[in-house]
Amino acid sequence: MIAPEGIPFVLGAAAATAALWFLWPKSVPLAAVALLLTVFMAWFFRDPERIPPAEPGAVISPADGKIVFCGDCPPGRYSPEPGKMVSVFMSVFDVHVNRAPVSGKVASVRYNPGKFLAANVEKASLENEQNGVALETAGGRKVSYVQIAGLIARRIVCYLSEGDIVKQGQRVGMIRFGSRVDVFLPASAVLRVKKGDRVRAGESIVGVLP
């Protein structure tokens, strides 16, 4: 499957390939480059099916990528009380479709404009353009995730609005061309990952709520 946001990119690259191949006979090398771009776009915007684990209390990763931070965090913009945070960095080679870390109700959606620093540096969590979504589980627990734009990523897509009901693993948005997603958990949560681990959206457990 290809994410809906990627269809215009794939069709545009395919149209350029066809135009170069059929309308400009001397442009075979350019047509080959355009074909490679078409394949890359289709691959980049891929949207594979994922099956969330059945473990009670599990908080799953909202993004594919590498863990660049995992540990305690002080009160802040998305965590009014001390808690725990897991940060996932998505390179251009990772799937960029984001998924809900838990099932529950959307308590808030907050967009904050900002910079476009490299998403794998710690200060990107505070200074970069971002969109934060707070979810409240049926047990009253709050889990938030924040989509953060990066050096190349300049487009954050969020499918949710305040009051929506979401299911764990549900597609909730994406970020184009490399970025980062932070997950905020209660202080009582037990983390299941460490810095440097690779995770998959909708499948990998990053923490467990008591």
* Residues carrying an active site annotation: 179
Distance of CA 22 to the CA centre of its chain: 38
Q: What are phi and psi of 111, to 5 degrees?
A: -100, 135
CB of 105 within 8 A of CB of 135? yes
CB of 150 within 8 A of CB of 128? yes
Q: Structure tokens of 122?
A: 């710690």
- The whole-angstrom separation of Cα 172 and Cα 160 is 6
DSSP E strands: which ranges in the chain?
Answer: 58-60, 65-73, 83-90, 97-99, 104-112, 130-136, 142-148, 156-158, 165-166, 171-175, 179-186, 190-191, 198-199, 205-208
- The whole-angstrom separation of Cα 149 and Cα 113 is 10
Q: Which residue has the tokens 């994922």?
A: 50
